[in-house]
Amino acid sequence: MIDIQCHILPGVDDGPMTMEETQQIISEAQKAGVKTIIATPHYSKRLYDNGMAVQVFDRVKTEAKNYGIKLYRGYEIKIDQYPARMPVEYGDLDLNGSKYILLELPFDRVPSYTFDLIYKLQLEGFSIIIAHPERCRKLSEEKKIFEQMYDIGCLMQIDAASIIGAHGWRAKRFARKVIKSGKAAFVASDAHDPEGYSRYYVGAYKKVQKWAGKQTADELFDINARRIIECIAVDDKSMPAAL
């Protein structure tokens, strides 16, 4: 399995605070059958400018190898940051040079500039992944906005915990609808602690199998994410193939 969103780096955001906690997360990921993880701390200008995320990533990458897990670097970018805290350039903020970029919406609204930002990034050659859209109440209440995002090419990443119901009935219901309609591209752990794998990830795979069949489960947990991994290996950063 390939996990495209995980807050595994210690001491950089709201994930683990120590390397020992990170080791526990890696161990549970291994038990869940995960072979590849993209580490996606929340972007902040301070974190990016001081190079801390890169330094911590290198340590965790070495540790992950001990468990037979490949680790790649990325960011989850909140789009409701104050303008002064938003990235100016996005060129080094994608998923390890793949040209896939992970955007997080607020849980209660879709900012007025959302589509302008998406269009800008698409013009720059990025493919947009919307992190856990099922957790954004505005999208679940106003399906036209979700459909518009999907229609312009945004890829939808569902959280494993939402599928299990950890984020409430509304998120679970919307996650189920998106998956059964074929509009989800990925399921990710979005793990901040070991429970992200031990309690939610494997259970979510089984639930998706029940909802939509094994082929869909394999696509969402592994096959589609291989496209990202394949693009990471491309040195010229060419436009990734559409899912």
Report pLDDT for 179: 97
2-232 — its CATH code?
3.20.20.140
Report pLDDT for 80: 86
| Average pLDDT of the chain to the nearest whole number | 91
Domain ranges of the chain: 2-232
Residue by residue, what is the 3-state secondary structure of the chain? CEEEEECCCCCCCCCCCCHHHHHHHHHHHHHCCCCEEEECCECCHHHHHCCHHHHHHHHHHHHHHCCCCEEEECCEEECCCCHHHCCCCCCCCCCCCCCEEEEECCCCCCCCCHHHHHHHHHHCCCEEEEECHHHCHHHHHCHHHHHHHHHCCCEEEEEHHHHHCCCCHHHHHHHHHHHHCCCCCEEECCECCCHHHHHHHHHHHHHHHHHHCHHHHHHHHHHHHHHHHHHHCCCCCCCCCCC
**Chain centre distance of CA 44:** 16
pLDDT at residue 243 greater than cutoff 70: no
**Between 54 and 119, where is the model more confident?**
119
Confidence of residue 82 (pLDDT cuts 50, 70, 90): low
Report pLDDT for 160: 98
What value does the mean pLDDT take over residues 141-158? 96
Q: How far apart are the first and last CA of the chain?
A: 17
Report pLDDT for 238: 35
Report pLDDT for 118: 96
What value does the mean pLDDT take over residues 42-60? 86
pLDDT at residue 83 greater than cutoff 80: no
**Between 239 and 95, where is the model more confident?**
95
pLDDT one-digit tens code per residue, 160-187: 999 999 999 999 999 999 999 999 999 9
List, in order, residues 6 or more apart from 2 with CB less than 8 Å away. Answer: 34, 35, 36, 37, 221, 222, 225, 226, 228, 229
Report pLDDT for 10: 95
Q: How far apart are CA 99 and CA 94, in angstroms?
A: 6
What value does the mean pLDDT take over residues 109-136? 95
pLDDT at residue 232 greater than cutoff 90: no
